């Protein structure tokens, strides 16, 4: 057994690899920093742009009815929730602490994955509900000035579009995200099983 032991260690350390120049890794680190900053900037620009668009609608069209205003607020809320939850997802991932033991790290990762499932499915549904409701309320003021056929047509088309999203796209997105996360969770559990003291 001992001779094998020695053998293994010798073989192991004979796997040669050229160490990349320090500059190469420093460049990677630099790119990584830039990428992170870019992400934050893009997100902030997007949120600012969104707010400006919605506020200018409010300002230029001067809605009379309360329903329109509530509608606008709901739509903004839906979009903010979506963007913020997407960010929360990112920040959740940052909460992993790589300097813990494997045991603790996997436990933490497991918890995070379960939180992600919650975030992704619940938030997506909340987003759809708020957006549909907001849109329906928002349209009400403009539609109320239309003829009956106009009302039926506008609400009809909007309604069908929302239904397609709710019945067709939403479950598909959720299913796809969940399948991915569940497969990761299963693998995590498999590895955690290996860590049980015997």
Partner 1 sequence: MVFEEVYKTYWEKIFRLCMGYTNDYDLSRDLAQDTFILVWQQLPNFRNESNIGTWIFRIATNNCLRQIEKQNRFPKGELPLNLQEEKEKSIEPKIQLLYKFIAELEEIDRIIISLELENINQKEIAGIVGLSESNIRVKIHRIKKKLTENFLEYGIT
When binding is defined by CB under 8 A, the residue of 8, 46, 161, 169 that contacts partner 1 is: 8
CB of 175 to partner 1, least distance (A): 15
When binding is defined by CB under 8 A, the residue of 19, 64, 91, 149 that contacts partner 1 is: 19
Q: Which of residues 29-68 bind partner 1 (CB under 8 A)?
A: 29, 32
Range in contact with partner 1 (rule: CB under 8 A) among 48-56, 71-79, 127-135, 178-186: 178-186
How far apart are the C-alpha atoms of 72 and 63, rounded to whole Å?
Answer: 10
Taking the least distance from each CB to partner 1, the nearer of 62 and 194 is: 194
CB of 102 to partner 1, least distance (A): 5
Interface with partner 1, residue 91, by CB under 8 A: no
CB of 13 to partner 1, least distance (A): 7
Query: φ and ψ at 179, to 5 degrees?
Result: -60, -40
Range in contact with partner 1 (rule: CB under 8 A) among 37-45, 102-110, 118-126, 154-162: 102-110
**Chain residues that interact with partner 1, rule: CB under 8 A:** 1, 4-5, 8-9, 11-15, 17, 19-20, 22, 25, 28-29, 32, 96, 98-106, 109, 180, 183-184, 187-188, 191, 194-195, 197-198
């Amino acid at each position: 057994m001992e001779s094998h032991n020695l053998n293994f260690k010798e073989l192991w350390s004979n796997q040669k690899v050229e160490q990349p120049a320090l500059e190469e890794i420093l460049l990677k680190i630099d790119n990584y920093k830039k990428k992170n900053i870019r992400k934050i900037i893009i997100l902030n620009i997007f949120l600012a742009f969104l707010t400006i668009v919605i506020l200018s609608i409010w300002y230029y069209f001067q809605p009379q009815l309360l329903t329109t205003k509530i509608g606008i607020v709901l739509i903004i809320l839906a979009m903010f929730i979506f963007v913020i939850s997407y960010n929360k997802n990112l920040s959740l991932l940052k909460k992993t602490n790589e300097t813990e033991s494997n045991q603790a790290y996997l436990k933490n990762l497991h918890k995070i994955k379960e939180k992600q499932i919650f975030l992704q499915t619940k938030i997506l549904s909340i987003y759809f509900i708020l957006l549909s409701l907001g849109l329906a309320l928002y349209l009400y003021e403009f539609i109320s000035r239309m003829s009956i056929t106009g009302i039926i047509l506008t609400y009809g088309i909007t309604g069908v579009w929302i239904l397609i999203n709710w019945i067709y796209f939403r479950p598909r997105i959720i299913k796809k995200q969940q399948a991915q996360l569940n497969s990761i969770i299963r693998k995590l559990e498999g590895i955690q099983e290996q860590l049980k003291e015997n």
